[in-house]
Structure 1
Amino acid sequence: SSPSNTGASVGSFNAAFVPAFAGILAAEGRAAARDMAERMGALMALWLSLLTMLALIFMPQVIAVLAPGFATNPEKFALAVELTRITFFYMPLICLTALISGVLNSLDRFAAAAAAPVFFNLLLMAALVGLTPYLPTPGHALAWGVFAAGVVQLAMVWVAARQAGMALRLYRRPALTPPIRQVLRRMVPGVLGAGVTQINLAVDVIIASFLVSGSVSYLYYADRVAQLPLGVIGAALGTALLPVLARHLRQGEKLAAHRTLNRGIELAVLLTLPCAAGLAVAAGPIVAALFQRGAFDAAASAASAAALIAYAAGLPAFVLVKVFAPAFFARGDTSAPVRIGIASVAVNLALNLAFMNLLGHVGVALATSIAAWVNAGLLAWLLIRRGHMVLDRRCRRVLPRLVLATAMMAAVVLALGLLLPLGLAAMLRAALLIGVGMSGFTLAGMALGAFHPRDVLRQLRRRTPRSAAPANPS
């Protein structure tokens, strides 16, 4: 699985840690809260060190299970072991980042934690372009880029915590205090859910390893592009919603909780739907501009672009899951998302088997997107059934207009792509399509009364999604 997929584990940790830390902060003060966070961090550092050491030793056996198709090619197998050993150092870094992000979220400081995934993806792109000429393969550039991005993410949130007066010392003696036991108990369903996600991803890699040579790489490069908006939007919304919803519910403000969730849904659709459509209609130029050089030729670029289109179809669903899940976590329910996640794994596995011979690696990406929509749909259905989510008048009015604005934007970008000369440089072609797409969606959205850019910017500057971007509510 790619490092970006540790998000499930981070989400489960935050779902358990943030309410416990916030409760101690409110009841006993900053000193007691810091003590709890430091002891939790020391415990995490201990078991993560042991886990990393075991993973480095037994990585050949792990790869043999995760990618059995590589066993027939000793060089490919050895390369996979080497690169996975490098990227595994990201695991302890991102887990400690999650701890400090949880502290910042509880203090209503969301900027650093939300920006960290953005820098992860940008650093990976920069490493691919800048380091590839100096390393044996592009895979080495990405692997070291993952490690460097993990260091940068941890540094970002640590500096932010220090500025907030909550710098953590992780060399404390680990202790299973009652609050830490409570966090660990609450994490069990979430960790199971993260395990379900990893099973989903392992199924994808296993099946892709049996397909045409290069399939795993095509999926990885496509996933890197799709993860850029997903990391920016999904992480930011999920990070901000959990403490806000938990606070409203703790204070008995059910109407405010409903309103917050509605605004989160609006913002998710506003930011992801045009991204998904834009990635789909401009996939070829985008992938070519970012990756097409050296051994990654036009055929490889086209194969990755096809996978990107399939991943883009699921982008809104991936982010909506990040919006819906906090509505369960804020109520102390971490088991329902796990049960739904298990159902999505079954869907993913069935579709992978159905699509692999017909669609190859694109079928793997498409199965992932369909499973994400099943996940989001079931979460929404359960929230509605329990009375925890009711789409208000404003949300019902705005969502169809956002869909229409996206369709108009996609039509314009598709037409422009057909009109641009074939000899135009890939980077210029991609820049033109993205620029026209953003402008077209903004103009269409304003004309339809779906939103106003000023309101969007005001909302994004706020710390919480209490009043969302779409304008002219009625």
Structure 2
Amino acid sequence: MTAPRSSLLRGVAAFSSMTLLSRLLGLLRETVIAAVFGANAATDAFWVAFRIPNFMRRLFAEGAFSLAFVPVFAEVRARGDEAALKAFVARTAGTLGGVLLVVTALGIWGARALVHVFAPGLAEDPARLALTADLLRITFPFLMLVSLTALAAGVLNAYSKFALAAFTPVILNLCMIAAALWLAPHLRIPISALAWAILLAGVLQLAIQLPALRKLGVLSWPRWGATHPDVRKIMRLMLPTLFGSSVAQINLLLDTVIASFLFVGSQTWLALSDRLMEFPLGVFGVALGTVILPTLARHHLSTDRAGFQRALDWGLRTALLIALPATVALVLLAKPMIATLFQHGRYNAFDTDMATLSLTTLSCGLPAFALVKVLAPAFYARQDTKTPVRAAIVAMVVNMALNVILVGALVWAWAAPELHRGGVLETLAHTPGLHMALGMASALAGYLNLTQLWLALHRQGVYQAQPGWLR
């Protein structure tokens, strides 16, 4: 296992180094946005408008599509027919692009309705609703662009070229920083500068992938291929993974719905908390999951069961080794970290206290989120999509129930007596700190999802812990 483990480690190192650069710039981005815009109704509108296509990006591009595409790509590549491989990539790109072009057009046309669905609390404020819908019309095409970027990244990852794919988010961060500092002061609606930056970043992220694909000999004009057998296989695998691969993102979007009824600024505090928690998860957890999926798929195709188990065991150990100390650091240092990074300009001490509440609770789920990033590919590499879906649906339903229960408990404990007489919506909108319950519910649901996947692997006899866990 020494050579394969060394190969995995090099892949993780290459992916993590670029992701680390992206996450550091992401922190700088959040610092600049907090200083320039603060935490208010306008920033809440932007984060809702960004979260909707970003949710779909993680669901389709980084989630279901990538997890279905990589094993099928490995299978087609193993046949040794370069022309067939190139045609397969072209057919996949054409089909994915065509479907997402229609989805994007519908999203722009129905932006106002989408805001009603995903942030119903804004219906009581027509100005905030209109601003959010206008921003969503600008950001929604990002979904199509970044999904095609994910297709290109999947091809590069299959050739063990992880660095370029991991570098692409750097472009998004640079565009948003530049827009906040230099474009926003010149616009009638300053916050719209961030939306235009996202659209530009989507174009640039896709463009930088194309030369690498050409060098590998797999770049050609996209073609519609919905009837192509391997494309149809991706679709069959992809549909059930829509839930299984992205339960954390679905939970985050449900949090957006509830947060739209809460104290002004809750969306921004949750987005900032998610950004800080995603720092170690993105640098290491996502890197492990991305690198280990092609390796597990190859072991499965060659029926190397022992190699499959060793690779998975290595991934789980590495994820836990990083996630546990990161969790302790985030929980203990949440307030000084947020104050140091973000308490500048229009971002004040009250915002720091509120973001600390959600970061502390959400970070408790980091070990579960990281381990799921490694466990889920163990199912997808074997083209088993049903098991993660069942686990994800259970976890999602429990998360929704916990959101309501925990928010209700905090209202009972924290809300001023005079607010209870004003009705439920008024109580929610005027009691700060209730967003803390959403982070707590997401963390608990993450552990439920992890437990189900762990037990399923043992029932199927796919994984047995290797010696040395207690050393």
CA distance in 2, matches of 1:253, 1:269: 25
Calculate the TM-score normalised by the size of structure 2.
0.77
CA distance in 1, matches of 2:196, 2:470: 45
CA contact 1:120–1:146 (8 Å) conserved in 2: yes
Matched, 1:113 2:159: no
Aligned to 2:435: 361
CA distance in 2, matches of 1:103, 1:181: 18
CA contact 1:121–1:228 (8 Å) conserved in 2: no
Aligned to 2:65: 13
Q: For the structure 1 residues 175 and 91, does the alpha-carbon distance in structure 2 shift closer, same or farther, using more than 3 Å as the test?
A: same
CA distance in 2, matches of 1:148, 1:288: 31
Within the candidate set 101, 117, 133, 1:81 is matched to 133
Aligned to 1:348: 399
Aligned to 2:229: 178
Within the candidate set 93, 96, 100, 2:145 is matched to 93
Aligned to 1:459: none
**Shift in Å, 1:157:** 3.3
Matched, 1:260 2:334: no
CA contact 2:86–2:217 (8 Å) conserved in 1: no
**Shift in Å, 1:244:** 0.4
1:154 alignment partner, SS class: helix
Within the candidate set 89, 106, 114, 1:37 is matched to 89
Within the candidate set 50, 53, 71, 2:102 is matched to 50
Matched, 1:71 2:123: yes
Aligned to 1:444: none
Q: For the structure 1 residues 315 and 127, does the alpha-carbon distance in structure 2 shift closer, same or farther, using more than 3 Å as the test?
A: farther
Gaps of 5+ in 1: 398-474
1:382-414 per-residue CA deviation (whole Å, 9 max, x = no partner) reads: 1122222222122332xxxxxxxxxxxxxxxxx
CA distance in 2, matches of 1:340, 1:219: 25
Matched, 1:318 2:369: yes
- Which structure carries more relative contact order (alpha carbon 8 Å, separation 6+)? 2
1:393 alignment partner, SS class: coil
Aligned to 1:333: 384
Number of aligned residue pairs: give it: 396
Aligned residue type for 2:259? A
Q: For the structure 1 residues 249 and 283, does the alpha-carbon distance in structure 2 shift closer, same or farther, using more than 3 Å as the test?
A: same
Aligned to 1:387: 461
Aligned to 2:258: 207
**Shift in Å, 1:344:** 0.7
Aligned to 1:373: 447
Q: For the structure 1 residues 134 and 260, does the alpha-carbon distance in structure 2 shift closer, same or farther, using more than 3 Å as the test?
A: farther
CA contact 1:207–1:356 (8 Å) conserved in 2: no
**Shift in Å, 1:167:** 2.8
Aligned residue type for 1:70? L
1:263-301 per-residue CA deviation (whole Å, 9 max, x = no partner) reads: 111221223222222222222233234433343222112
CA distance in 1, matches of 2:276, 2:183: 18
1:396 alignment partner, SS class: coil
1:386-443 per-residue CA deviation (whole Å, 9 max, x = no partner) reads: 222222122332xxxxxxxxxxxxxxxxxxxxxxxxxxxxxxxxxxxxxxxxxxxxxx
Matched, 1:169 2:221: yes
CA distance in 2, matches of 1:233, 1:140: 32
User: Identity percentage over the alignment?
Assistant: 40
**Shift in Å, 1:32:** 1.0
2:470 alignment partner, SS class: helix
Q: For the structure 1 residues 368 and 175, does the alpha-carbon distance in structure 2 shift closer, same or farther, using more than 3 Å as the test?
A: closer
Aligned to 1:275: 326
Runs of 4+ residues over 4 Å off in structure 1: 117-139, 194-199
The Cα RMSD (Å) is 2.5
Calculate the TM-score normalised by the size of structure 1.
0.77
| 1:157-306 matched pairs, under 5 angstroms | 157-170=209-222, 172-193=223-244, 199-306=250-357
CA contact 1:118–1:232 (8 Å) conserved in 2: no
CA distance in 1, matches of 2:334, 2:183: 24
Aligned to 1:462: none
CA distance in 2, matches of 1:120, 1:266: 31
Aligned to 1:396: 470
Which moved further from structure 2: 250-259 or 297-306?
297-306
Gaps of 5+ in 2: 1-47, 411-432
**Shift in Å, 1:248:** 0.9
CA contact 2:362–2:440 (8 Å) conserved in 1: yes
1:265 alignment partner, SS class: helix
